[in-house]
Structure 1
């Protein structure tokens, strides 16, 4: 894993860090989907934590990395707009999931499973497109001020990148 807040390496390989965040989000979503097979009291908390992390990532990209790329590389603006549109669709799914989890009658597992399945399919396509179109450009933005969290909304938790 790359240094996250090192002054000498602030934006070095931020595209690679985005990939690491995407890998972590994919793994968390898969873990969340698997937990629907045996729902527990922790399901609601796990789901809300995942939704918040994904939302922070997309909001961070929109206001951080995407804004910077649009300024530095104007030809990427159509790509960035497509990604922002995806972020809006994802936000809608997250709102529906959170609403399903907020009811007093218990968690409607089948509905949550359907929403998360759609989310997983959309995110897989979104992440691939984003990585294909932006990683090289992001990695070229070395030496700019900012941290991974400011540009991508979050950093991969340290325990997520180790074995296990």
Structure 2
């Protein structure tokens, strides 16, 4: 088997690790803001938009590229793909709610805003973790075994990370 092919599932794990780290960075910035020594609200929102766009790119790439390929090759995994797509929609909704909360933050932190933002971040973290774990458990071996010439030629969006 081609070593490049073997890596697709492992590349997915690397992307998930990277996304978890970006969420942790955002959470650290939010905590610093509410402690009074962090970035301004507009900077928090920019950080959030960067993270959100990376996560959205990953999920959109899965929905448009990976999942159709997997469903074609492994029809028995279609219910898994349906669940993963449902998770993507839930995550997208949470990202939108988080963006709205960060866009409305006052220059001076307050407890009510903190409670709302932290609740959204905790919800996002929980669903991301269960989603990533489920996806890795169900698709790692499948991804490692797929032979998709286009993926060998150019790394698909769902396997990309941004340079830090």
Q: What range describes the TM-score normalised by the shorter chain of this pair?
A: 0.7 to 0.9
Mapped to 2, the partners of 1:86 and 1:48 lie a distance apart of 19
Provide the TM-score with structure 1 as the length reference: 0.82
The equivalent residue for 2:18 is 24
The equivalent residue for 1:110 is 115
Could you say which structure has the larger radius of gyration? 2
Q: Which runs of 5+ in 2 are unaligned?
A: 34-38
Mapped to 2, the partners of 1:104 and 1:128 lie a distance apart of 32
Which structure has more relative contact order (CA 8 Å, sep 6+)? It is: 1
Q: Which runs of 5+ in 1 are unaligned?
A: 1-7, 160-164
Q: May I ask how many residue pairs the two structures share in their alignment?
A: 150
The equivalent residue for 1:5 is none
CA RMSD of the aligned region, Å? 2.0
SS of match in other structure, 1:148: coil
Provide the TM-score with structure 2 as the length reference: 0.82
Instruction: List structure 1 runs of 4+ shifted beyond 3 angstroms.
Output: 8-12, 104-109
- CA drift at 1:34: 1.4
Mapped to 2, the partners of 1:52 and 1:69 lie a distance apart of 24
Higher helix share: 2
Given that residues 79 and 133 in structure 1 are in contact (C-alpha distance below 8 angstroms), is that contact kept between their aligned partners in structure 2? yes
The equivalent residue for 1:121 is 126
The equivalent residue for 2:36 is none
